[in-house]
Structure 1
């Protein structure tokens, strides 16, 4: 059965300028994470494989990693390492993954444009 999944995007995403300063990849990953969260709250660990992101949201691995990295720098997402199987009683988990947590409270802060470091190379004169 096809299920419609609607999400509500907080108004502050637009009014505080986040839509203007985030790249396309960051906006796409923010929307994917918001969809996965489903309004369950900020402390819900979110994870999906690169294959899931590509299949469900048609986003490449490059878009996924770039978007998550930028969201982390903006403080909208935090990542923590967790064992793949959290019920494992091994002292040291063999397989770990990054899970992501949305930080929706950061949307109430005005988004800042962080200057990108630009390197201009001047050719040596002969």
Structure 2
């Protein structure tokens, strides 16, 4: 608690004979007023089971970062979606990080990747990865390895 107060994430007000009153401060650590993320614009939500079923502890930081990036990039679509390079670059994940995270999410059953043709009859048709999150898998406990 002292560290959080020293770094301006919370404000502690001593109270005689009772625990200190805690006030949340800005998540940036600048000592500003706390505002909920939805009040500041866009944010990514994750089902509560991600936290309560232990997925945060099971997945590597790489897979967790990709899971959050895909949750945002897919925009709630339930069918497989191709993610353009420019959109992928917005998350700052290298190709190697993207691949490692993808393989781990697939192994855990949280992600399905399909190869789908892109382009039309007159264009050069390429096979590209189309991503589909399987967030219902979060309802189950992860398979610990």
Which of residues 123, 127, 130 is equivalent to 1:99?
130
2:43 matches 1:6 = yes
How far, CA to CA, are the matches of 2:84 and 2:66 in structure 1? 11
After TM superposition, the score normalised by the length of structure 1 is 0.74
2:93 matches 1:62 = no
Structure label with greater radius of gyration:
2
Q: Tell me the matched-pair count.
A: 105
Larger RCO: Structure 1 or Structure 2 (Cα < 8 Å, ≥ 6 residues apart)? 1
How far, CA to CA, are the matches of 1:52 and 1:8 in structure 2? 19
Deviations 1:73-122 (A, max 9, x none): 0000001111112xx248xx7411111100011000001212xxxxxxxx
CA RMSD of aligned residues (A): 2.0
Equivalent position of 2:112 in the other structure: 78
Query: Contact 1:36–1:46 (CA<8 Å) still a contact in 2?
Result: no
Task: Return 5+ residue gaps in structure 1 as ranges.
Answer: 115-126
Equivalent position of 1:35 in the other structure: 72
How far, CA to CA, are the matches of 1:112 and 1:70 in structure 2? 12
User: Which structure features the higher share of strand residues?
Assistant: 2
The secondary structure found in structure 2 opposite 1:31 is helix
